[in-house]
Structure 1
Amino acid sequence: MTEKEQFPRWQALALISALSLIWGYNWVMMKVAVHDAPPFAFASLRFLGGAIVLLATFKLMGRDLKLRQMLRRWPTVLMVGFFQTACCFGFITWAISTGTAGRAAVLNYTMSVWVLLFSVAFLKEKVPAAQWVAAAVAVVGIGCIVFAGGKTGDLFNVGLGLAAGLTWGIGVIITKRAMKHGSPGEPPLDTMALTAWQMLVGAIFLTVVALLVPEPPINWTPAFIAAILYNIGPATPLAYVIWFTLISRLSAGLASLGIMLTPLLGIVLSGLQLGERPGLVEGVGMGLILLAIAGLGWASGRQARKLRAN
């Protein structure tokens, strides 16, 4: 057992499986929700409720919400909330409302490719050759999906999914840069507190958009209410508590399995419950992107282990 792995492997795998299932099934629940609600109204309710519940959960856990630190670092909180929550989930919820949940899940997780490119361009990080190979595989996969989208008249929906991954990647880079370049004497940025507060900021942005963009009213069906409760319950506070437990007590490579499995489960579960079936070319593209995500996660974990060893 390594220094960070402080509980048995079976418990770690159980938590990873739970996290993957919670977030993977949420792609189905989001598709259910947008059947009865316009995308921005749903995203606004989801993150407003989720942020409040997450903040309350952290408080009940005895966590310091670091309000003063977040106020001092307000530009970071504002930008991360705008890109990582408002833009990313605004785009992806719109994509789900006009396309399939499985494809949206896969395109959203191209975030890892954007983070790779932005890390090299803006953070001047060195990237192993294996990660470049994985990124190239992802580009081929995206090309397959774009080709399939062009044949079905669905390019706009594909663009929304890619825009979600892009803006999520921007949010990650802003966070990484803020953690590297804090003010002298400033304590390290508390990522758990940042997650909760940026989610609230993003929810406010989404609420403004939902009020300004003409959308039909919400149809408060039992299915929509269940989807909202799932999003502000298991998919937010429970999932994030599991996630922060994993990253605090496991190696980065093992903890990241929870994220890598999520889009795969999104495809499988949306196929089982919603009957979504990608075409051959689109299916190949989605498979290549999933392979690239796994490759990027494996290469990142390997690089982190080498740095710790040195």
Structure 2
Amino acid sequence: MLHARQLWVLTLLTLFWGLNWPIMKLAVGEMAPLTFRALSLLLGLPCLALALLLLKVPLRMPRHEWAQALRLAVTNMMTWHVLLILALPHVSSGRAAILGYTMPVFAALWGRTLYGDRLSTRQLAGIVAAGGAVLLLLWHELSRLSGAPLAAGAILVAALVWGLGTQQLRRAHFSVATLTIAFWMTAATTVVLCVLAVAFEAPRWQWPLSSTALWAIAYNGVLVFGYSQAAWFYLARTLTPVASSTSVMLIPVLGIGSGALWLGEQLHWQDGAAVALILAAIALVLLPPRPASSTNSMRA
């Protein structure tokens, strides 16, 4: 069950991440994808640092915890952001959101395979419902996905690795606050994206940037990397892996809707059915079980 604070964090996270899919799609149509991601991170990192300062969260992390933070950055951020942003120019924003949010299914499978997690009947039903929603959403897209198999495969690999990262993050032991971990993981990812952008995209740079690109960078820097990434780490560490990963399943629904509204991406009947399955999955995993009914009968 979500507490009030977790519910507010999740609501804003869903809104910011969900609306970001068409925004990212617009951005990579205007500029080189790795460069877009790198500039967004360069803006987001000081925003995150300011949040730590205002909340009086220490920035220092013990040296012996650096290696663990770097490993988590690879599975939770670096792989996801690199593969997704490289694939996004070749698929629609709604399709990318669908593929990316196969993550909850992968997270549950990683937990069962690597950590021996025992899933309750409700959790299994929620995972099946979420998986069914993904299949429904992919149904109408399979023929078009065949035109960009590498892009689709890259996003699925990114989701697979993110699912592993979700399990690892939940089980990681740190002596510092989650915001501190988020800052240093974001810092490491920023370095990697900047190096990749310079190495592979410098000849493609065009200045000045368009107003669309600048707006997308600002949105991603402040709301995605300045807030949402840290918010996700908070949820991933305070909820169970199944609950945290399933809780974000509304994000692709919002991504699909906003992509249709802003970019004219076509919707089909499968979308409505998938929404119902996603809502069922969230309810099955997150809502508390009904208490056992008590009997008031008196025995003679």
TM-score (norm 1): 0.77
Q: Is the 8 A contact 1:4 1:248 kept in 2?
A: no
Query: Is 2:118 aligned against 1:122?
Result: no
Offset, 1:209: 2.0
Partner deviation per Cα, 1:202-246 (whole Å, 9 max, x = no partner): 121222222233562245111101110111112332446766898
Aligned to 2:143: 151
Query: Is 2:213 aligned against 1:217?
Result: no
Which amino acid letter does the alignment assign opposite residue 301 of structure 1? L
Aligned to 2:249: 260
Aligned to 1:45: 39
Distance 1:255 1:214, change over 3 A: closer
Distance 1:82 1:290, change over 3 A: farther
Distance 2:225 2:152 in 1: 26
Aligned to 2:180: 193
Q: Is the 8 A contact 2:104 2:246 kept in 1?
A: no
Aligned to 2:285: 300
Offset, 1:290: 5.2
Aligned to 1:273: 262
Structural mapping, 1:68-107, within 5 Å: 68-69=61-62, 71-107=63-99
Which amino acid letter does the alignment assign opposite residue 24 of structure 1? G
Distance 1:291 1:95, change over 3 A: farther
Structural mapping, 1:25-40, within 5 Å: 25-40=19-34
Distance 1:257 1:296, change over 3 A: closer
Partner deviation per Cα, 1:158-183 (whole Å, 9 max, x = no partner): 2122122112112212212323xx6x
Q: RMSD in angstroms over aligned alpha carbons? A: 3.7
Q: Is the 8 A contact 2:106 2:159 kept in 1?
A: yes
Distance 1:154 1:130, change over 3 A: farther
Distance 2:211 2:125 in 1: 46
Offset, 1:263: 1.5
Offset, 1:277: 1.4
Identical-residue share of aligned pairs (%): 24
Aligned to 2:225: 236
Query: Is 2:171 aligned against 1:177?
Result: yes
Aligned residue for 1:68, secondary structure, equals coil
Structural mapping, 1:272-291, within 5 Å: 272-278=261-267, 280=268, 284=270
Distance 1:99 1:18, change over 3 A: same
Distance 1:95 1:303, change over 3 A: farther
Distance 1:304 1:171 in 2: 28
Structure exhibiting the larger radius of gyration computed from Cα positions: 2
Offset, 1:101: 0.9
Aligned residue for 2:111, secondary structure, equals helix
Aligned residue for 1:276, secondary structure, equals coil
Aligned to 2:102: 110
Which amino acid letter does the alignment assign opposite residue 113 of structure 1? V
Offset, 1:17: 4.4
Offset, 1:4: 4.5
Distance 1:224 1:142 in 2: 30
Distance 1:207 1:287, change over 3 A: farther
| Structure 2 residue runs without a partner (length 5+) | 292-300
Q: Which stretch of structure 1 is more off in the superposition, 295-304 or 79-88? A: 295-304
Q: Is the 8 A contact 2:25 2:89 kept in 1?
A: yes
Partner deviation per Cα, 1:123-152 (whole Å, 9 max, x = no partner): 221112333344345555555666655523
Aligned residue for 2:82, secondary structure, equals helix
| Structure 1 residue runs without a partner (length 5+) | none
Query: Is 2:185 aligned against 1:208?
Result: no
Distance 1:77 1:235 in 2: 20
Distance 1:288 1:158 in 2: 22
Q: Is the 8 A contact 2:259 2:265 kept in 1?
A: yes
